[in-house]
Amino acid sequence: MDETLSLGRIAGVRVGLHWSVLVIVALIAMALAHGRFPAAHPGHSPVAYWALAVLTAVVFLFSLLAHELAHAVVARRNGVEVEGITLWMLGGTARLRGEAPSPAAELRIAGVGPLTSLLAGGVLAGAAVALDALHVSGLVVEAVAWLGAINILLAVFNALPAAPLDGGRLLRAYLWHRTGDRLRATRGASAAGRALGWFMVLTGFADVLFAGSLSGLWAALIGWFLIAAATAESRQAQIRGVLEGVPVRRVMTPAPVTVAPSVSLSDFLAEGPFSPYRHSAFPVLAADGSVTGLLTVRRVEAVPSQARAHTSVRDVMHPLGEVVTTAPDDPVLDLLPRLQENPARRALVLDRGRLAGILTVADITRALGWPTPPEGPRHQHPPQLSKGQR
């Protein structure tokens, strides 16, 4: 979930908002201003209801932020890098770069979120009792009490043992500790997440069809999100299981076909799609052998046909500064996020400044076709095959 508005850094962690946050703020404010507040404490002006409702919704977002910040801080203390936090319609997401190093670390990172929400709920509930004892406006007490209740509910919901909820990560930590297999543990937690998601979808629609309650649509939406997120998490775990510890050199295409920057596009096209230009992207090499950029067929197609005779490769190529580069011994797993974010969707593999190969998403997809190896010590070099096995 990409952020729309950056809020800067809090505790050294980048924090941002997605535009869908406006939806949840509006829904909460509307429900409180038109429902809960007037029903519990009638007689106040609409302005008072709306002002307190909007303030309550904003405080709720800050409680979500505290939940995610707790994850991020504990993750960093356990050696896991944190890319940032994004608040969005269905809550918040702490983007972690990498996996917890052990089941114990996973337990600490996952468990601190619900504990933070539970603590916040308890503090707010206590504050509501104290404000009521001081005879503060009942409307204010109602808002604080609602915040306390919703944080406790958030803690309980997140503690459910189903991925991608925090409880799912706690379940994964337990299964990982019991089996010693992180991938198997992730599959178990993801299966629980999909089961919970389908339960919420079915019961939500049943609530709409048989009870006529539109609130069931909200439960169905959350359930559908759980199904999608749990499935994606299982897929990510499979990718990590295959690619963990694999260097770029084992996946890349070595000695790719290259093109000179001075070649015109018409001359370039005259050679393809047959030998040697049968690919869709080509490293561009200067006369001294240095890499200057990357030419893609999409860039060539964007040039009008009548202008191609007077347009050189240099004019339309991606400059080297816009291309993802890596070294042959870099881990493929660390490269994958950069590859997915880059428009070219390719990486040039440079060895001491010289071209060693090219790596595409298709290369990684082929690698993922291999059976997932069991967790444990990996061979530094692939086993040698006999002539009869090749």
**Residues labelled as active-site residues:** 68
Report which residue type is found at 283. P
The Cα 67–Cα 72 span in angstroms is 9
- Long-range contacts from 225-229, C-beta under 8 angstroms, 24+ separation: 225/90, 225/197, 226/162, 226/164, 226/165, 226/193, 226/194, 226/196, 226/197, 226/200, 227/193, 227/194, 227/197, 227/198, 227/201, 228/197, 229/163, 229/164, 229/193
Report which residue type is found at 164. P
Angle at alpha carbon of residue 373, lines to 371 and 374, rounded to 5°: 140
Report which residue type is found at 163. A
β-bridge partners, 101: none
Q: State phi, psi for 350 to the nearest 5 degrees.
A: -115, 130
**CB of 261 closer than 8 Å to CB of 293:** yes
Tokens coding 13: 């962690």
Of the candidates 351, 341, 281, the one whose C-alpha atom is nearest the C-alpha of residue 317 is 281
Q: Report the number of secondary-structure helices (H) and strands (E) in the chain.
A: 13, 11
**CB of 249 closer than 8 Å to CB of 356:** yes
Positive or negative torsion for Cα 233, 234, 238, 241: positive
The Cα 222–Cα 216 span in angstroms is 10
The Cα 388–Cα 386 span in angstroms is 5
The Cα 265–Cα 271 span in angstroms is 10
Neighbours of 203 (CB within 10 A): 14
Of the candidates 326, 313, 303, 307, the one whose C-alpha atom is nearest the C-alpha of residue 282 is 313
